[in-house]
Amino acid sequence: MNGPRDIFTVKGLIVSCQALADEPLHGGDTMAKMARAAVSAGAIGIRTNGVVDIVKIKQEVDVPVIGLIKKDIEGSDIFITPTIDEVKAIVMAGADIVALDVTDREGRLETVKPLIAYAHKMGIAVMADISTLEEGLAAEQLGVDYIGTTLSGYTSYSRQAEEPDFELLQQLVEKVKVPVVAEGRIWTPEDAAKALATGAAYVVVGSAITRPQLITARYVQALRNL
Ligand SMILES: CC(=O)N[C@H](C=O)[C@@H](O)[C@H](O)[C@H](O)COP(=O)(O)O
């Protein structure tokens, strides 16, 4: 593949439809309905976890799907598409983009190279989930197609905050040429708009739209605070 490839045709909102096995909405059919609702309202893409959910969502909607597989590996902190096996499964499931951890942990910036190469060989774009500017710069050098702020706040050395990491977003937008995806803790339409205004090409919103147990908890907490 020659250079980065952006498969979206317009900027906008990507809705993350994810419910792990221990979450109330777990299940491909449910996630496909979530995706349909999101696309019917104008979402330009869907991000989702696991083979079943990728397959079901691809059957349900006609927008690009970012696929990942969350997998816990003993002794490792890397859980978003950790190995080539997950990349192969995501390709087989029919995702248009594979999202994977491109953080500077456990030698990942080296070991991720064959995962990126495989995805590209199979004609799939790659979204790098990073947590710092340095990782974003490294990801661009590795030839990824999108860089997402997904893991800011989820590595020990990145900025820990309740809010989205607008500072990282701004730095990435200034320093990298590939499209930057704002992702992580975006809870309001205002924050989504701010991310786009800051220069993000795409804004991924997950929990605020598709995790009712977390949405409800925020309301319950607010009432408790009275
Ligand atoms: C850190 C991690 O595991 N992030 C995951 C990545 O796919 C998802 O659990 C998040 O829901 C997604 O990034 C969207 O973020 P938020 O739900 O905050 O809008």
Q: What are the residue boundaries of the structural domains of the chain, listed by start?
A: 12-224
Q: How far is CA 217 from CA 99, 210, 211, 221, in A?
A: 28, 13, 10, 6
Mean per-residue pLDDT over the chain, rounded: 97
What is the phi/psi pair of residue 48, to 5°?
Answer: -150, 160
- DSSP-derived pairing of the beta strands 97-101 and 12-17: unpaired
State yes or no: pLDDT of 3 exceeds 70: yes
> Are 29 and 56 a contacting pair, CB within 8 Å?
yes
3-class DSSP string for 116-143: HHHHHHCCCEEEEECCCHHHHHHHHHCC
State yes or no: pLDDT of 2 exceeds 70: no
Would you place residue 1 in the very low, low, confident or very high pLDDT band (cuts 50, 70, 90)? very low
pLDDT tens-place string over residues 14-36? 999 999 999 999 999 999 999 99
Task: State the fold for domain 12-224.
Answer: TIM Barrel (3.20.20)
pLDDT tens-place string over residues 61-99? 999 999 999 999 999 999 999 999 999 999 999 999 999
The whole-model pTM stands at 0.98
Q: Taking the mean position of all CA atoms in its chain, how far away is CA 164?
A: 14
Among 57, 187, 207, residue to substitute to test ligand 1 (most atoms within 8 Å of Cβ):
207
Largest Cα–Cα separation, the chain: 57
What ipTM, to 2 d.p.?
A: 0.99
pLDDT at 106: 98
pLDDT tens-place string over residues 158-191? 999 999 999 999 999 999 999 999 999 999 999 9
* Ligand 1 shell residues, CB under 6 Å: 16, 18, 68, 150-151, 154, 183-186, 204-208
- Of 128, 56, 120, whose CA–CA distance to 94 is shortest? 56
